[in-house]
Copies of this chain bind each other. A is one copy, B any other.
Amino acid sequence: MAVTLKDVAALAGVSVKTVSNVVNGYSFVKPANRKLVEDALVATGYRPNIGARNLRRGRTGFFALMVPELGIPYFGELAAMIITAAHERDRNVLIEQTWGQRDLERSTLASLGPHLVDGAILSPEALEAEDFALLGPDVPVLMVGEHAVEARLDRVAIDNVLAARTAVEHLVRLGRRRIACIGENPRRGTSAMRLQGYREALADAGMPADAELVAPAVNYHRRDGAEAMRALLELPDPPDAVFCFNDMLAVGALRAAAERGVQVPADLAVVGFDGSEEGAYSTPTLTSIAPDKAAIAERAVERLTTRIDTGLPHESAFIQTPFVLEVRESTAGRRA
């Protein structure tokens, strides 16, 4: 069995309270006793039982992080940073994967509660507004990224409309005239805002909004990007540029272009979204909107911990984090 406070107290010849005080860096402890306790602490190799502490304190010390899947580079990287930020505040993170399925997202929401986690960071994909009723009234949660649902929750994200506009304006400035987009999907929150930014940029440039250039995508995997791109390339008047709603779609689009012998960027400029490292090494390298993931992680964890510690109610604040457009080979130079 592990060493307990009582064991340490016995060895040091003091009460558990004193040991507890020392362990928690509390109030004034007589120096002589402090020394005694510290020696006993190292002698026994004492380590607090986190579960017992949290039971007593009425919290668990855990966050839930709900994401579609860790195998997606964006979420793997984001999770990495959220875990790091949580550790800095002595919290641990439980990862719940939903594979973007609404039923799994719903059951994750329903399972959230004071019995298991103190709060949660959500990145839902298919949740509808009504689903948030599943959430207990006093479970502090917050969302990262854009989502279609209008929930009364704090949200940490970049300005997706602006980011999408930035991406498309970049293509306009390159002299591209038929700019497509890939990723339209009414059930995804990110889609709506990126589509809006796309449309705004075209409108600002006085370019027509051609419906056939808006390619839908059920999922946002590489495969989906490739399929959508193939369809676009088969158009009688194919696009000379494409804005993909994430990097995986863009990588798929690059793949489809390569298969058809379409030169990127000469015949087709491609912009992605996520700033994943994969895009920095693809052939050609990928221009992409790069959100500051570290900032998202930091702000989200910071917000959630203060929300938990203060016990204040939800506020549905929007915490905006920065992004940059990383220009790389896939949009290098003007149209040939």
Contact = CB atoms under 8 A, between A and B. Distances in A.
A309 to B, nearest CB: 18
A189 interface: no
B280 A254 contact: no
Interface in A261-315: 277-278, 280-283, 285
Given A93-B95, A254-B283, A114 B2 contact: yes
A185 B287 CA distance: 33
Interface core residue of A77, A277, A285 (most chain B CB under 10 Å): A277
B73 A69 contact: no
Contacts of A48: 115
A50 B255 CA distance: 47
A282 B286 CA distance: 12
A333 interface: no
A283 B281 contact: no
Interface core residue of A54, A77, A79 (most chain B CB under 10 Å): A79
A13 interface: no
A283 B280 contact: no
Contacts of A280: 222
A184 B2 CA distance: 41
A52 interface: yes
Contact of A73 (B52, B76, B251): B76
A71 interface: yes
A54 B116 CA distance: 11
A94 B86 CA distance: 12
A175 interface: no
A115 B77 contact: no
A109 interface: no
A252 B113 CA distance: 44
Interface in A38-96: 47-52, 54-55, 60, 69-73, 75-77, 79-80, 83-84, 92-95
Interface core residue of A70, A116, A282 (most chain B CB under 10 Å): A70
Interface string A236-256: 000000000000000110110
Contacts of A12: none
A258 interface: yes
A226 interface: yes
Contacts of A95: 79, 83, 93, 95
A320 interface: no
Interface of A: 1-2, 47-52, 54-55, 60, 69-73, 75-77, 79-80, 83-84, 92-95, 97, 111, 113-116, 222, 226, 251-252, 254-255, 258, 277-278, 280-283, 285
30 contacts: A2-B115, A50-B60, A50-B115, A51-B55, A51-B60, A55-B55, A70-B77, A70-B79, A70-B80, A71-B77, A73-B73, A75-B76, A76-B79, A79-B95, A80-B97, A83-B97, A84-B97, A92-B94, A93-B95, A94-B94, A222-B280, A251-B278, A251-B281, A252-B281, A255-B281, A255-B283, A255-B285, A258-B283, A278-B278, A282-B282
A-B residue pairs, 9 tightest by C-beta: A76-B76, A71-B77, A70-B80, A283-B283, A222-B281, A49-B115, A70-B76, A258-B283, A71-B80
